[in-house]
Amino acid sequence: MVKIENEFLVVEIQEKGAEVIRVISKEDGKNYMWDKNPEIWNGVSPNLFPTVGKSIGDEIRYDGKIYKLGNHGFARHSIFQWEKSLDGKSADFILDDSMIEKNSFPFQFYLDINYRLEDRKLITTYYVKNPGDGKTIFTLGAHPAFKVPFHQGKKIGDYYVEFPMDTQLILHELTSFATYTGRREEFNLEDGKLDLRIYDVANTYVFSDFKSEYVKLIEKGSGNFIKVDIKGFKYLAFWKKSEGDFICIEPWIGKSDMEGFRGEFHEKEDMITLTKNEDFRIGYGIEFMY
């Protein structure tokens, strides 16, 4: 387990998946993240690469060949190399195509996930580079699960998600197999709020067309919140299991296959394509304010 820390927070990150497991307050020792319970869900904050969501049949096709690729890609199951900064406030986690099973993915790639602490904020930056002569094609996303309720005596209905710049979003319809039907509908927010009291959080909701650069998960009455940056991401997903005391707020580039999709990998929606020596960078921050 790798630790980074500053005067406010201690963050524990495992080498498998470069996954944040705990974010702990130095003031009172509380863990802001979901307390991992394999009987309910064996994740806390997986990194999604080189795909987001479901590939039909758990496989992709490229240049006439078939490659097995499970839900949300292979990065979350891979062992990353890591290096911590001298001040202990940041760390880089590295994965490239030489570190995965041979012939399991058709492209060369270099992935660097950097975690950095600034005050009460954990900043995650994804950097992807194409080191080869061919193309590198991928999507990526984040899947952090926050402990909700924040305090004993509260319940999920005591919280809402605020979109400060939006009154309406686009909701994308999912099938029972986690693929998309292609149907989109307008989803109205009341005063920019998604009220978890009336929101069926045991399902997956995927939104797009938001103007807000961040959302806040807010506890009614106290005003305590967790703020998640979403600028630059096309989709924002919400998910939980009914048994667990958590909710996932997930900024994505890319999503699952469309129902019935049988095309090649580069024909999927929202794919990012890099040519030789091209790179791509995107990041988001999580601010913990309770």
What whole-number distance in Å separates Cα of residue 250 and Cα of residue 110?
23
The per-residue pLDDT for 92 is 98
Q: What token pair was written down for 183?
A: 């149907």
At residue 243, the pLDDT reads 85
Quick one: what percent of the chain has pLDDT higher than 70? 98
Token output for 246: 């958590």
What's residue 198's pLDDT?
62
Q: What is the pLDDT of residue 147?
A: 96
Task: Kindly tell me if the per-residue pLDDT of 200 is higher than 90.
Answer: no
pLDDT digits (tens, 9 = 90+) for 3-40: 999 999 999 999 999 999 999 999 999 999 999 999 99
pLDDT of residue 202 exceeding 80: no
Only one residue has tokens 């900043």, namely 123
Provide the mean pLDDT of the chain.
Answer: 95
Kindly report, residue by residue over 121-157, the tens digit of the pLDDT: 999 999 999 999 999 999 999 999 999 999 988 988 8
**Model's pTM, two decimal places?**
0.95
The yes-or-no verdict on residue 199 having pLDDT over 80 is no
> What DSSP state is assigned to residue 271?
-
Domain boundaries, the chain: 2-289
3-state secondary structure of 239: strand
Topology of 2-289 in CATH?
Beta-galactosidase; Chain A, domain 5 (2.70.98)
Are 271 and 135 in contact, with CB atoms under 8 Å apart? no
